[in-house]
């Protein structure tokens, strides 16, 4: 499929990661089944997730998502905030590898119970 506009290697796409199109983020997990329930293609989630993490969601985006999913802008905002909270936790673990090791250890302990 041809790229319309700047290519991925252009400065406008600094920090672009093609994996973003497929990341299973909390926002995508919230959005995908709602799109499917509305009779829309779940792949439409790629338009908004993970853009909500990296570019934010404008009020117009929230209204559009609410309309598409049959929810309210407040529910979209809540899903967005939950996703951002998870992303902040991921960033904290990436910035402190020792926390990632600790987190893995704690997860292992929790699964044993």
Give the pLDDT score at 33.
Answer: 94
Q: 21-30, 56-65, 78-87: which range is least confident on average?
A: 21-30
Q: What is the pLDDT at residue 13?
A: 52
Q: Specify the pLDDT at position 2.
A: 47
Exposure class string for 39-64: b at 16+ Cβ within 10 A, else e: eeeeebbbebbbebbeeebeeebbeb
Confidence at residue 12, expressed as pLDDT on a 0 to 100 scale: 53
- Provide mean pLDDT across the span 32-47: 88
Residues 21-38, mean pLDDT to the nearest whole number: 88
| Average pLDDT score over residue span 84-107 | 77
pLDDT for position 39: 92
Specify the pLDDT at position 7. Answer: 53
Q: pLDDT above 90 covers what percent of the chain? A: 32
How many other β-carbons are positioned within 10 Å of the β-carbon of residue 106?
Answer: 10
pLDDT average, residue stretch 91-95: 75
């Amino acid at each position: 499929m041809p790229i319309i506009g700047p290519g991925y290697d252009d400065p406008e796409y600094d920090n672009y990661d093609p994996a973003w199109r497929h990341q299973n983020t909390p926002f995508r997990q919230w959005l995908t089944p709602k799109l499917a329930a509305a009779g829309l293609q779940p792949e439409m989630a790629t338009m908004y997730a993970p853009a909500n993490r990296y570019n934010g969601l404008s009020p117009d985006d929230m209204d559009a998502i609410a309309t598409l999913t049959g929810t309210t802008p407040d529910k979209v905002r809540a899903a967005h905030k939950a996703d951002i909270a998870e992303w902040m936790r991921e960033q904290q673990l990436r910035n402190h590898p020792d926390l990632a090791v600790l987190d893995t250890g704690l997860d292992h302990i929790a699964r044993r119970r």
